[in-house]
Each structure stands twice: as structure tokens, then as C-alpha cells.
Amino acid sequence: MSGERPSTPAELFDLSGRVALVTGGTRGLGHEIVLAFAAAGADIVVSSRKQEACEQVAEEVRALGREALPQACHVGSWEQVDALADAAFERFGRVDVLVNNAGIAPLYPDPLGLTEELWEKTMAVNVKGPYRLTAKVATRMAEGEGGSVINISSVGATLVRGDSLAYGAAKAGLNALTVGFAEAFGPKVRVNCIMCGPFATDISEHWDWDAFEHSARAFALRRAGQPPEIAGAALYFASNASSFTTGTILPVDGGQSSARPDSGDAGQFTSN
């Protein structure tokens, strides 16, 4: 699409005939994105570490009338990432939308308490994997009809705490990759990023909710997001609605990233 006007708003966000690959797609925000894309007409490559979980979500996609490929992958492994990309193209012949959603957010008591193993694992899942998968998939997108890459980052990239330094550095790196890949694969491939605030996913079960509610008083919306509230931003970036948008980092955080200076420890509440 290059400026032509769709006849209806529904057509603007329609994903019929497209294939989307979503990492971390079996739980939390990734699961919501999978279901939203399938409801909008896309066939889905569902990926996470456990094949059984991928199979279960693939059945949900099929129940919506779409095709699905369940494919387990540890995104910290380039070998597995390569196999995931190859499987997607072998099954569908194309990938139109890539969502780099898989992520980990480990905490540790103090900077010296961060082990080398945990540092490398955090970087591998949050930065190395998205780098390799984008390089593999977007290269083929650019050789074909183009496509859209969506990185799922976090306000933790900018609201960095002493006990989340590795996570903050990794997500800041993902933000940087967004801008760099947008230039590298333009004009046929758009690359954008959703910088998530706190969402009430399974990860939030481990939050100190009293502390969160205190911090959230500084947010404009004064609450955590609900997982379905990620769908609008994801559909925007995946569809023709964002045809003139690339290299963009969009906060979807209830106002957390623009909160008052007294927002306290809000940066510890991550979503992926």
C-alpha cells in the first residue's frame, strides 16, 4: 500500500491473506496478539519454548477459522531461530508480519548479584534472538512483497532500576535495533516497536501489588493495562493502517513513561 485509500476502516486493519509469526505467543501479551491477528484474518506461526503450549494456542487459532503452525523455539539460540524462520517459510511460503515478543525480565539483589550466566541469558532472549530472527525474516520480506516487524519492548528501557540493569540494557538495545532495522530494510519492510508499560499478565502474579498501586497513582490512567489492550497497537503496526510509519517506538503504558517524578519504583513492573 502506498497512499491509496481503503474503502472502509475495517479494510485498513484487515490482515486477510497474511501470515504472522509471533514469538512468545502462548501466554501474556503474545497470546493476545496471536488471537487479535487471527481474528483480523491472518494465519499464524505460534512460537514459544514449549511445543505443547504452541499446539494448544494453534488450536485456538484454527477455531477462529485460520491456519496455524505451532513451532517451539528458544529464541536465545540462533540455530533454533533459523529453524523457526525456515519452518515458517516452508509451511506458508511467506511471512508478512513478525512480532518479536519473547522476553525475560530477571531480577537480582544488587549489581554484583547479577551473574554472567543471567546477563548472557537476558541479552540472548531479549536482543540476540530478535536480531537474528529479524535479519532472517525481514531479508526475505524485502526480497518479496515487503512486510512489518513489530518489536515488543518495555518502559524498563528508559525507567531503569538498579535491580533490572540487564533487562533495561536489553530492551534499550531492542529499541535501537528497531530504528536501525527500519533503515536497513526500508522501503519495503516497516519496523516498529511497542514499548509496553505494566500489564496484568501471568508475570504480574509476582508483583507487590500494594507497591504497584502506590506507584500507579503517578500514571495518567492510574492502573495496569489489561492484556487485550495491547491488540490495537499491534494491529496498527501489522496492518496498512501504519503504512507510513516505521522506526517508531510507541509507548503503550497508561502514561507511565510520562509520569510525574514521584512515580517511585514503577520501572520494576514489567510485562514481558
What's residue 261's pLDDT? 54
Contact present, 272 and 203 (Cβ < 8 Å): yes
Contact present, 247 and 183 (Cβ < 8 Å): yes
Catalytic (active site) residue 108: no
- pLDDT of 185 over the 50 cut: yes
Write down the CATH superfamily of domain 9-252: NAD(P)-binding Rossmann-like Domain (3.40.50.720)
pLDDT level of residue 225 (50, 70, 90 thresholds): confident
- pLDDT of 55 over the 70 cut: yes
* Distance from the Cα of residue 6 to its chain's centroid: 27
**Mean predicted confidence (pLDDT) in 188-194:** 98
Pick 7 or 34 by higher pLDDT. 34
pLDDT level of residue 263 (50, 70, 90 thresholds): very low
CA distance 158 to 107: 16
CA distance 49 to 47: 7
CA distance 251 to 98: 19
CA distance 250 to 184: 20
- pLDDT of 72 over the 50 cut: yes
Contact present, 105 and 94 (Cβ < 8 Å): no
What's residue 205's pLDDT? 66
Which residue is catalytic, options 108, 131, 167, 236?
Answer: 167
Residue 251's DSSP bridge partners are 195
Q: Model pTM? A: 0.91
* Distance from the Cα of residue 246 to its chain's centroid: 15
Residue 267's DSSP bridge partners are none
Q: Tens digits of per-residue pLDDT, 85-106?
A: 999 999 999 999 999 999 998 8
Domain boundaries, the chain: 9-252
pLDDT level of residue 8 (50, 70, 90 thresholds): confident
**Portion of the chain with pLDDT greater than 90, in percent:** 72
pLDDT level of residue 2 (50, 70, 90 thresholds): low
